[in-house]
């Protein structure tokens, strides 16, 4: 073992780095903010504001010329801190006083203790079956209409009207249910009643889906296409509505039956403090209930999505993708967006029918992922990655783009045809109610990669291992108005159910074990921290490419002028001679051609490259 000498190591550490590109300095200077000297409240410098606020007489004050951080800064921050501390004390004191008053039953308005008031409340709290809010102008689907018609039957005041709305079957639901003070425990018990036996979640695992949620026998993406709100067949629509009605009817029947008092109810009244804490957590239970109802409704959609539909649904192939591009799908109804790609085909699905075959694609974004795969080839299971950015300003603040990608190994080498790698983006409908798939592809990991970590496709083949493939997809989401800036959008899942390798040479077996662990990997996806303007150029270019492609296919995600403007911006910011600059130039040409054509252009003849020689 030879350790490098100290001087040798220091010399290696001081290896010369490349000079910065000359245009970088100009960009940095151009990016000096106009309000460089403006007060910045977020840094607590509103009085000082950094360098030199100049007074009306034109002389920079000596006060402003001294270092900013110093005694004055401490003095500056002490005022707000004291105010916040005082406010907290007032709030805590008021809360304590209110608690004491409620415990003694002598509230300021002379109200009775909470348990009594709750029992007199004519409106039960567990009837929230309304669908999640959708964007303005989004017409309710038949399924939602059905839910809205059935939902009132659990309310005593509306019971006759509800019965007439849903017909004879729900007549018995007109009987007013016993009014209870539902606790979270009741809500959970009720949820278990709502769920079918096969769907009843185990304790502690209530929010998780099982890997079998999506039928693995057919391409799940095609299945979901069949039930999308825009392309749904009439038969599927009717079946979904019927399934929804049946589910809600079961719900109403159960709510009409007298419920046995639960343990919580039996204990009600014994301790007002316990009742109060239970009531305070009703909001939590209700939110959980809503979440479960959504889950059950999604499950009912899957129930209605019978195998015949799945079998007859078209596969996500190149000709099929041409007519699906610009419609948004409802995340609450479909619950899952699934991209299923047969990795062994290794076809560039998107380029084959995009009509923008010369445009850049999502591949540059995944270069880092290639490297991740190279460095993590010995890790178990597939590698998943996701990146989220806010949309371009022209597209509106509610647009979010999610790029997801996964590295998997080739499937089917041992004749296991029909086994699929699946990449899923599972959205939270409350945060991202609608979405659409902009681009997707499956391609082999670059075989020109250094084999130091053991991984380009060719290197892996030489080592007797299956090559790696990358599945990538770019989604456009509509974020809900009320969604927080750092809300969780959902999760990315990659399913990798792999057969045992047919051959089992030692090297191959080791690598196959390492990379074909099977099961699934899950990665949370969050709303963006990065704004569009600070997003790296490759992703901006990919989004613009997808928007132009959408426009050419008849969509209206952005105007051609806005796209051209953004392309020009990317081209200005890109380093001269870089791949981004070249891609932006190609895209600019295509956008100009589209603008000249005016009307949606015919898709160009596919010129996509085929699979790589080793793929």
Partner 1 sequence: MSSAEAPSSAPVPAPGRGARTRGEAELVDDLRRGDRAAAGALIELTYPMIYKSLVRMCGDGDTAADLTQETYARAWRALAQFDGRSRFSTWLYRIAYTTFLNHVRRPQRFVALDGEAGALVSAAETDALRRVDALRLRREVLALPEDLRFAVTAHFWGDVPVKEIARQEGLTSMAIRKRLRRAIARLRAAMGEESS
* Span 548-587, contacts to partner 1 by CB under 8 A: 575, 578, 580
Which CB atom, from 229 or from 405, has the smaller least distance to partner 1? 405
How far apart, in whole angstroms, are the C-alpha atoms of residue 249 and residue 173?
9
Rule CB under 8 A: say whether 17 interacts with partner 1: yes
Nearest approach in angstroms of CB 569 to partner 1 is: 14
Instruction: Considering only the stretches 250-258, 368-376, 410-418, 583-591, report the one whose residues sit in contact with partner 1 under the rule CB under 8 A.
Output: 368-376
Q: Is 15 in the site for partner 1 (CB under 8 A)?
A: yes
Q: Note whether 68 binds partner 1 by CB under 8 A.
A: yes
Strand (E) or helix (H) holding 385: strand 383-390
Confirm if 425 and 473 have CB atoms less than 8 A apart: yes
Q: Confirm or reject binding of residue 536 to partner 1 (CB under 8 A).
A: yes
Cα of 394 vs its chain's centroid, Å: 21
Backbone φ and ψ for 278, nearest 5 degrees, come out as -65, -40
Determine which residue in the list 174, 523, 562, 608 makes contact with partner 1, applying CB under 8 A. 523
**Closest distance of CB 489 from partner 1, Å:** 10
Rounded to whole angstroms, the Cα distance separating 266 from 245 reads 34
For partner 1, the closer of residues 505 and 536 by Cβ is 536
Told to check if 37 binds partner 1 by CB under 8 A, we report yes
Distance CA 48, CA 68 (A): 7
Which residues 250-289 are close enough to bind partner 1 by CB under 8 A?
Answer: none
| Those residues with Cβ within 8 angstroms of residue 414's Cβ, 6 or more apart along the chain or in another chain | 499, 501, 502, 503
Question: Judged by CB under 8 A, which of 248, 342, 387, 410 binds partner 1?
Answer: 387
Q: Which residues contact 358 (CB under 8 A, 6 or more apart)?
A: 586, 590, 607
Total site size for partner 1, rule CB under 8 A: 87
Do residues 386 and 407 make contact, with C-beta atoms less than 8 angstroms apart? no
Instruction: Judge contact between 162 and 152, C-beta under 8 A.
Output: yes
Nearer to partner 1, 52 or 593 (CB): 52
Pairwise CA distance, residues 523 & 494, whole Å: 9
Q: CA geometry: angle at 28 spanning 27 and 30, to 5°?
A: 65
Single residue of 521, 542, 547, 567 touching partner 1 by CB under 8 A:
521
Member of 190, 374, 460, 498 binding partner 1 (CB under 8 A):
374
Answer yes or no whether residue 48 interacts with partner 1 by CB under 8 A.
yes
Unique residue bearing structure tokens 């603040």: 397
Residue 488 CB, shortest distance to partner 1, in Å, is: 11
Reported as type and span, the H/E element at residue 25 is helix 22-30
Is the Cα dihedral 155, 198, 423, 219 positive or negative?
A: negative
Note whether 531 binds partner 1 by CB under 8 A. Answer: no
Q: Work out which of 389, 427, 437, 544 binds partner 1, going by CB under 8 A.
A: 389
Q: 32-42 burial, b for 16+ CB within 10 Å, e for fewer?
A: eeeeeeeeeee
- Please report whether residue 53 would count as binding partner 1 according to CB under 8 A: yes
Cβ-based nearer residue to partner 1, 136 or 486 = 486
Between residues 4 and 554, which has the closer beta carbon with respect to partner 1?
4
Tell the smallest beta-carbon distance from residue 465 to partner 1 (Å).
Answer: 17
Site for partner 1 in 581-600 (CB under 8 A): none
CA-wise closest residue to 297 among 255, 240, 224, 233: 240
Q: What angle do CA 302, 185, 114 make, to 5 degrees?
A: 130
Beta carbon of residue 379, minimum distance to partner 1 (angstroms, whole number): 4
Interaction of residue 13 with partner 1, rule CB under 8 A = yes
What's the Rg (C-alpha) of the chain? 30
User: What's the closest the beta carbon of residue 251 comes to partner 1, in angstroms?
Assistant: 38
- Return the residue of 95, 140, 396, 452 that touches partner 1, per CB under 8 A: 452
Q: Residues 404, 472: contact at Cβ < 8 Å? A: yes
Interface pick for partner 1 out of 31, 109, 417, 605 (rule CB under 8 A): 31
**74 is an interface residue for partner 1 by CB under 8 A:** no
What's the DSSP call for residue 5? Answer: P
Q: From residue 323 to residue 362, what is the string marking binding to partner 1 with x (rule CB under 8 A)?
A: ----------------------------------------
Cα separation values, 356 from 47, 408, 440, Å: 54, 27, 14
- Contact with partner 1 (CB under 8 A): which of 115, 144, 295, 370? 370
Of 87 and 534, the one with the shorter C-beta distance to partner 1 is 534
What distance in Å separates the CA atoms of residue 253 and residue 249, rounded to the nearest whole number? 6
Residue 75 found at the interface with partner 1 (CB under 8 A): no
Q: Output the six-digit token pair for 417.
A: 């045809």
DSSP string, 503-551: ---HHHHHHHHHH---SEEEEEEE--SS-GGGS-HHHHHHHHHHHHHHH
For partner 1, give the closer residue by CB, 452 or 606: 452
Smallest distance, partner 1 to C-beta of residue 454, A: 13
Q: Which residues of 459-469 are buried (b: 16+ CB within 10 A; e: fewer)?
A: bbeebbbbbbb
Contact string 392-431 vs partner 1 (x = CB under 8 A): -------------x--------------------------
Q: Considering the rule CB under 8 A, would residue 2 count as an interface residue with partner 1? A: yes
> Quick check: 383 binds partner 1 (CB under 8 A)?
yes
- Candidates 61-69, 133-141, 225-233, 352-360: pick the segment binding partner 1 (CB under 8 A): 61-69
Interaction between residue 94 and partner 1 (CB under 8 A):
no
- Indicate the residue among 27 and 200 with the shorter CB distance to partner 1: 27
């Amino acid at each position: 073992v030879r350790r490098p000498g100290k001087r040798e190591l220091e010399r290696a550490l001081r290896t010369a780095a490349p000079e910065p590109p000359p245009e970088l300095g100009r960009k940095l200077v151009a990016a000096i903010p106009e309000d460089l000297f403006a007060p910045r409240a977020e840094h607590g410098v509103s009085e000082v504001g950094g360098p030199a606020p100049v007074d009306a007489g034109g002389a920079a004050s000596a006060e402003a010329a001294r270092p900013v951080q110093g005694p004055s800064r401490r003095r500056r921050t002490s005022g707000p801190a004291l105010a916040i501390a005082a406010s907290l004390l007032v709030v805590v004191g008021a809360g304590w006083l209110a608690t004491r008053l409620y415990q003694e039953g002598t509230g300021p308005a002379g109200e009775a203790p909470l348990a009594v008031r709750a029992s007199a409340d004519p409106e039960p709290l567990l009837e929230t079956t309304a669908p999640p809010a959708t964007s303005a102008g989004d017409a309710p689907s038949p399924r939602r209409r059905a839910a809205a018609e059935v939902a009132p039957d659990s309310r005593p005041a509306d019971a006759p009207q509800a019965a007439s709305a849903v017909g004879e079957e729900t007549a018995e639901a007109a009987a007013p249910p016993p009014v209870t003070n539902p606790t979270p425990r009741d809500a959970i018990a009720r949820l278990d009643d709502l769920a079918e036996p096969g769907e009843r979640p185990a304790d502690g695992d209530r929010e998780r889906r099982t890997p079998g949620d999506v039928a693995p026998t057919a391409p799940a993406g095609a299945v979901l296409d069949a039930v999308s709100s825009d392309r749904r067949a009439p038969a599927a629509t009717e079946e979904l509505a019927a399934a929804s009605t049946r589910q809600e009817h079961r719900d109403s029947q159960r709510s009409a039956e007298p419920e046995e008092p639960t343990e919580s109810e039996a204990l009600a009244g014994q301790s007002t403090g316990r009742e109060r804490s239970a009531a305070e957590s009703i909001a939590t239970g209700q939110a959980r209930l809503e979440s479960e109802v959504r889950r059950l409704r999604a499950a009912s959609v899957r129930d209605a999505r019978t195998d015949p539909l799945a079998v007859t649904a078209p596969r996500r192939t190149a000709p099929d993708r041409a007519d699906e591009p610009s419609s948004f799908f409802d995340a609450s109804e479909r619950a899952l967006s699934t991209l299923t790609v047969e990795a062994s085909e290794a076809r560039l699905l998107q380029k084959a029918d995009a009509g923008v075959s010369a445009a850049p694609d999502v591949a540059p974004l995944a270069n880092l992922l290639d490297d991740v795969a190279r460095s993590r080839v010995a890790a178990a299971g597939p590698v998943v990655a996701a990146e989220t950015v806010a949309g371009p300003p022209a597209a509106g603040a509610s647009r979010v783009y999610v790029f997801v990608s996964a590295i998997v190994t080739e499937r089917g080498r041992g004749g296991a045809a029909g086994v699929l790698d699946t990449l899923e983006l599972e959205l939270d409908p409350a945060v991202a109610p609608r979405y659409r798939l902009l681009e997707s592809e499956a391609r082999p990991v670059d075989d020109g990669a250094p084999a130091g970590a053991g991984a380009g496709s060719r290197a892996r083949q030489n080592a007797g291992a299956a090559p790696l493939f990358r599945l990538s997809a770019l989604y456009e989401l509509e974020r809900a108005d009320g969604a927080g800036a750092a809300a969780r959008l959902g999760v990315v899942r990659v399913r990798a159910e792999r057969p045992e390798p047919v051959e089992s040479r030692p090297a191959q077996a080791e690598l196959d074990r390492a990379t074909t662990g099977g099961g699934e990997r899950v990665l949370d996806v969050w709303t963006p921290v990065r704004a569009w303007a600070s997003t790296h150029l490759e992703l901006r270019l990919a989004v613009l490419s997808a928007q132009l492609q959408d426009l050419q296919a008849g969509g209206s995600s952005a105007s051609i002028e806005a796209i051209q403007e953004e392309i020009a911006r990317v081209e200005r910011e890109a380093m001269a001679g870089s791949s981004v600059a070249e891609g932006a130039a190609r895209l600019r040409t295509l956008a100009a051609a589209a603008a000249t054509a005016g009307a949606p252009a015919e898709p160009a003849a596919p010129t996509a490259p085929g699979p790589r020689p080793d793929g």
